[in-house]
Amino acid sequence: MGTLRLGIFGGTFDPPHVGHLMVAQEVVEHLGLDRLFLMVAHAPPLRETPPSTPPALRLEMARAAVAGHPFLEAGDLEIRRGGVSYTVDTLRQLAALYPGAELTFVMGADQALAFPRWREPGEVASRARLVVVPRQGLDPRTLPPVVVPGPLVPEGAGEGGRRVEFLTVPVTRVDVSASLVRERVRLGRSIRYLVPPGVEALIYRHDLYRESPPSRGEGRWRFPSGVSGES
């Protein structure tokens, strides 16, 4: 039996949308992963404002997003661990849970730029292959060298540091973001086809992303055809 190849795609997933799923699917296919976790963060360390949706509900949406997929799974390690969600802690847990597994961590190009500010980035880079995908108009191929504290390597870029090697995976660009989905819900506009049906149902059922509850008979806030608001 060969080495287990696991991927981790971290984020708040508030909410998970088709852009997340396209990236996850294409990374799995490109790298031949056995499984990829959508690892839902309890509290992202570098985010200025906390997610608007409670962690347990974001996890429920992630599970609905990947339901039935043979290679994608919602990861709950960071939710169950609580506190600030540091990637290095998640990789340590996964290494203990899956001894000998090959770990791949997927991040957007914007996250790669901030990578030196992560907790123990050198250990993160040693524990997992780092994959970068386009995000917010940033092309991973144009990123400047990223250097983190650690032993100098031949390709290093400075005394007492080492260059982090990122693998770029080409993915289909889908101009959808969680902020776009939240804004459309706030305005009472349709989010059909922007999120999976199960996620859409949860958003309506829990009345997420609205500034105020819909009034009785408000025409714009109706469940789309085929989506039930009942438990």
Q: Give the DSSP per-residue string, 147-192.
A: EEES---TT--STTEEEPPEEE---------HHHHHHHHHTT---B
Tokens of 64: 């609905």
CATH superfamily of 5-168: HUPs (3.40.50.620)
18-49, pLDDT tens digit by residue?
Answer: 999 999 999 999 999 999 999 999 999 987 78
Least Cα distance to 21 among 50, 49, 62, 53 occurs for 62
Residue 168 one-letter amino acid: T
pLDDT of residue 64: 98
DSSP annotation of 224: P
pLDDT in tens, 73-126: 999 999 999 999 999 999 999 999 999 999 999 998 888 888 988 999 989 999
Average pLDDT over residues 127-155: 69
Cα dist from 173 to 26, 89, 104, 133, whole Å: 11, 30, 21, 10
**Nearest 5°: CA angle at 193, between 187 and 198?**
90
Q: CB 92: neighbour CB atoms within 10 A?
A: 15
Domain boundaries, the chain: 5-168
Nearest C-alpha neighbor of 71 from the set 107, 21, 106, 132:
21
| Residue at 104: amino acid letter | T
